[in-house]
A and B are shown apart, each in its own frame.
Chain A
Amino acid sequence: MGIEVIIYSTGVLLVLGAGFGIALAVSSKFLSVEEDPRIKKISDILPNINCGACGFAGCSSYAEAIVTKKEKVNLCMPGGEKTSKKIAGLMGIAPDSIEKKVALIHCCGGGIGKKKYDYSGVKDCRVINMVAGGSVECDYGCLMGYACLRSCPVHAIEKNENLMPYVIRDKCVGCGRCVTTCPRNLIELAEYGKKVHILCSSHDRGAEVIKVCKVGCIGCGKCVQACPFNAIRIENNLAVIDYSKCRVCGKCVDVCPVKVIYDWRKDFTVPGKQQKSGKKNEL
Chain B
Amino acid sequence: MKARVTFKGGIHPPENKGLCGELSIKDFPPPETAVLPLQQSLGSASEPVVKKGDKVKKGTLIARSKGYISSNLHSSVSGEVIDIRKSPHPLLGEANAIIIKSDNRDEPERDYSAEEASADSLSSGEILELIQNAGIVGLGGATFPAHVKLNPPADKPIKTFIINGAECEPYLTSDHSLMLECADRILKGAALIKKMLKAEKCLIAIEENKKDAIALFRQKIIQLKNAEGLQVFPLKVKYPQGAEKQLIYTLTGKEVPSGGLPMDVSVLVHNIGTVFAVYEAVFLRKPLFERIVTVSGKGIKNPANWRVRIGTTFKMLVNHSGLADKKIKKLIMGGPMMGLAQYTDEVPVVKATSGILVLTSDEAADFEHLACIRCGKCVSVCPMGLMPAEISKMVEKGRIDTAKSIGLMDCMECGSCNYICPSGTNLLQYIKLGKYEYLRSKNVKR
Interface residues of A (CB under 8 A from B): 116-117, 120-122, 124, 126-127, 130-134, 139, 151, 180
**A252 CB, nearest partner CB in chain B, Å:** 31
Extra 7 A-B pairs, beta carbons < 8 Å, given A126-B436, A132-B93, A180-B444: A116-B343, A117-B343, A122-B430, A127-B429, A130-B436, A132-B340, A132-B343
30 A-B residue pairs with Cβ-Cβ distance under 8 Å, sorted by A, are: A116-B343, A117-B343, A120-B366, A121-B426, A121-B429, A122-B426, A122-B429, A122-B430, A122-B433, A124-B433, A126-B433, A126-B436, A126-B437, A127-B429, A127-B430, A127-B433, A130-B433, A130-B436, A131-B341, A132-B93, A132-B340, A132-B341, A132-B342, A132-B343, A133-B92, A133-B93, A133-B94, A134-B93, A139-B94, A151-B398
Report how far A180 CA is from B443 CA in the complex, Å.
Answer: 13
A117: chain B residues at CB < 8 Å are 343
- By the criterion CB–CB under 8 Å, are A130 and B94 in contact? no
In the A-B complex, list the 8 residue pairs whose CB atoms are closest, starting with the nearest.
Answer: A133-B93, A117-B343, A132-B93, A122-B429, A122-B426, A127-B433, A132-B343, A116-B343
Q: Does B307 count as interface, using CB distance less than 8 angstroms?
A: no
Report how far A180 CA is from B341 CA in the complex, Å.
Answer: 28
Q: Does B393 count as interface, using CB distance less than 8 angstroms?
A: no
A130: chain B residues at CB < 8 Å are 432-433, 436
- By the criterion CB–CB under 8 Å, are A127 and B366 in contact? no
**A253 CB, nearest partner CB in chain B, Å:** 33
Mark out the residues of chain B between 400 and 445 whose CB falls within 8 Å of any chain A CB in the assembled complex. Answer: 426, 429-430, 432-433, 436-437, 444
Which range holds the interface residue count of chain B? 10 to 19
Mark out the residues of chain B between 73 and 113 whose CB falls within 8 Å of any chain A CB in the assembled complex. Answer: 92-94
Interface residues of B (CB under 8 A from A): 92-94, 340-343, 366, 398, 426, 429-430, 432-433, 436-437, 444
B343: chain A residues at CB < 8 Å are 116-117, 132
Interface majority SS on A: helix, strand, loop or mixed? loop
A151: chain B residues at CB < 8 Å are 398
Report how far A131 CA is from B436 CA in the complex, Å.
Answer: 12
Interface majority SS on B: helix, strand, loop or mixed? mixed
**A47 CB, nearest partner CB in chain B, Å:** 20
A120: chain B residues at CB < 8 Å are 366
B430: chain A residues at CB < 8 Å are 122, 127
B342: chain A residues at CB < 8 Å are 132
| Cβ-closest chain A residue relative to B426 | A122
Report how far A126 CA is from B395 CA in the complex, Å.
Answer: 12
Report how far A131 CA is from B90 CA in the complex, Å.
Answer: 10
Report how far A126 CA is from B400 CA in the complex, Å.
Answer: 14
Report how far A106 CA is from B444 CA in the complex, Å.
Answer: 22
Report how far A67 CA is from B88 CA in the complex, Å.
Answer: 56
Say which residue of B340, B341, B398, B432 sits within 8 Å of A127 (CB atoms): B432
**B372 CB, nearest partner CB in chain A, Å:** 13
**B359 CB, nearest partner CB in chain A, Å:** 13
Report how far A139 CA is from B93 CA in the complex, Å.
Answer: 10
Report how far A133 CA is from B436 CA in the complex, Å.
Answer: 14
B92: chain A residues at CB < 8 Å are 133
B93: chain A residues at CB < 8 Å are 132-134
| Cβ-closest chain B residue relative to A124 | B433
Report how far A134 CA is from B342 CA in the complex, Å.
Answer: 12
**A114 CB, nearest partner CB in chain B, Å:** 12
A132: chain B residues at CB < 8 Å are 93, 340-343
Report how far A139 CA is from B86 CA in the complex, Å.
Answer: 13
Report how far A126 CA is from B343 CA in the complex, Å.
Answer: 18
| Cβ-closest chain B residue relative to A129 | B436
A127: chain B residues at CB < 8 Å are 429-430, 432-433
**B3 CB, nearest partner CB in chain A, Å:** 39
B433: chain A residues at CB < 8 Å are 122, 124, 126-127, 130
**A75 CB, nearest partner CB in chain B, Å:** 18
B426: chain A residues at CB < 8 Å are 121-122
| Cβ-closest chain B residue relative to A139 | B94
| Cβ-closest chain A residue relative to B347 | A132
Which among A132, A134, A151 has the greatest number of chain B C-beta atoms within 10 A? A132
**A233 CB, nearest partner CB in chain B, Å:** 26
A134: chain B residues at CB < 8 Å are 93
